[in-house]
């Protein structure tokens, strides 16, 4: 099943079509997908890059066919513009973002850019990994290919007690 935004404040639960991995994209099975403020904005106001219908969700923890856990760097960049070559790919003018330009993680299965997968250590508390309200995984400032580790952030008002 998947959640599909069909318009402002219009969401539907629909069956998930059988997704097949394709060149450059890996099929993942979503375990958790956090709701971030951007998702709330998309729900209420839309987004400059959002075209309906769309499966939102870009803060996810998912597993591949072998059960390896990943989070996904949600941006997909061109790799050759002045921002990309200058190490500021988060400003890429051709940025494609999971959940806006292509379907995201509010779905049992998702196709994610293979180059954007970031392995999650097996010992990590996976349910918190995809929960932006408590403990979010974020790697936006780094290219996945150079990301040495996943950085975790938590917000003091809702920091986990353990």
CB of 46 to Zn ion, least distance (A): 16
Give whichever of 33 and 84 is closer to Zn ion, judged by the CB atom: 84
CB of 136 to Zn ion, least distance (A): 8
End-to-end CA distance of the chain, in Å?
Answer: 32
CB of 32 to Zn ion, least distance (A): 14
Query: Does 137 engage in binding with Zn ion (CB under 5 A)?
Result: no
* 41, 47 Cβ separation under 8 angstroms: yes
Query: Does 136 engage in binding with Zn ion (CB under 5 A)?
Result: no
Q: Residues of 73-108 as b/e, b for ≥16 C-beta within 10 angstroms?
A: bbbbbeeebebbeeeebeebeebebbbbbbbbbbbe
Of 4, 5, 30, 36, which lies in the binding site for Zn ion, with binding defined by CB under 5 A?
Answer: 36
Q: Which parts of this chain interact with Zn ion (CB under 5 A)?
A: 36, 38, 77-78, 81, 84, 92
């Amino acid at each position: 099943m998947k959640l599909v935004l069909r318009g402002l404040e219009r969401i539907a639960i629909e069956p998930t079509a059988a997704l097949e991995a394709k060149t450059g994209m890996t099929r993942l099975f979503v375990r958790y997908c956090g709701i971030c403020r951007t998702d709330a904005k998309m729900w209420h106001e839309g987004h400059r890059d959002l075209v309906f219908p769309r499966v939102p969700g870009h803060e996810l923890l998912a597993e591949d066919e072998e059960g390896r856990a990943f989070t996904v760097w949600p941006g997909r960049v061109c790799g050759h513009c002045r921002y990309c070559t200058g190490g500021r790919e988060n400003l890429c003018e051709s940025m494609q973002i999971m959940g806006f330009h292509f379907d995201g993680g509010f779905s049992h299965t998702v196709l994610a850019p293979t180059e954007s997968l970031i392995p999650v250590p097996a010992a990590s508390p996976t349910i918190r990994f995809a929960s932006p309200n408590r403990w979010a995984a974020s790697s936006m400032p780094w290219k996945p290919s150079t990301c040495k580790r996943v950085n975790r952030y938590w917000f003091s008002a809702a920091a986990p007690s353990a």
